[in-house]
Every structure is written in C-alpha cells, then in structure tokens.
Amino acid sequence: MKKIITAIAAVSTAAAFTSCQPQNNAQANAGTGAALGAIAGGIIGHQSGKGLEGAAIGAAAGGAGGYMIGNEKDKAQR
C-alpha cells in the first residue's frame, strides 16, 4: 500500500509542475508524456516491487519522448 501511495504522489507531483497553458506543442506533449509515463512506469514498476523507480523512469522517458514529438509538430507548423 505504501508503494502505491508513493507512486500516486509521484504522479501528482509531475502533474503539479506542468504548465496550465503551454506555450507550444513541445511543452504540452512533454507534460502529458511525463504524466502518462509516470503512471505506466509506476504500474509496471509495482509489479516488480519498485513502483517509485518505475514511475521516475517512466516520467523521464515519457517527458523526453513527448517533447521530441511536440518539437517536430512545432517545426512542421512553422
């Protein structure tokens, strides 16, 4: 139960640091990717007994992937 609460806290923290109104696609997709990555990583990590580590890795990977996709969208719009 403690690990689930920790994973939820990690996701809540990631959501709290996302901007309310993003400036561009890169920022919007990075925030969304980080939140979804933290959720998925927390679930996957929980299965192996390392929910917090999974959430952190998922958030980092999701944020980076989301930023790259959003950046390409921004380039295409210019």
For the chain, the distance separating the N- and C-terminal CA atoms, rounded to the nearest angstrom, is 48
Question: What gap in Å lies between CA 59 and CA 14, rounded to an integer?
Answer: 8
> Over the stretch 28-40, which tens digit does the pLDDT of each residue have?
888 888 988 988 9
User: If you average pLDDT over residues 52-70, what whole number do you get?
Assistant: 90
Tell whether pTM > 0.75. no
Q: Where are the domains of the chain?
A: 2-77
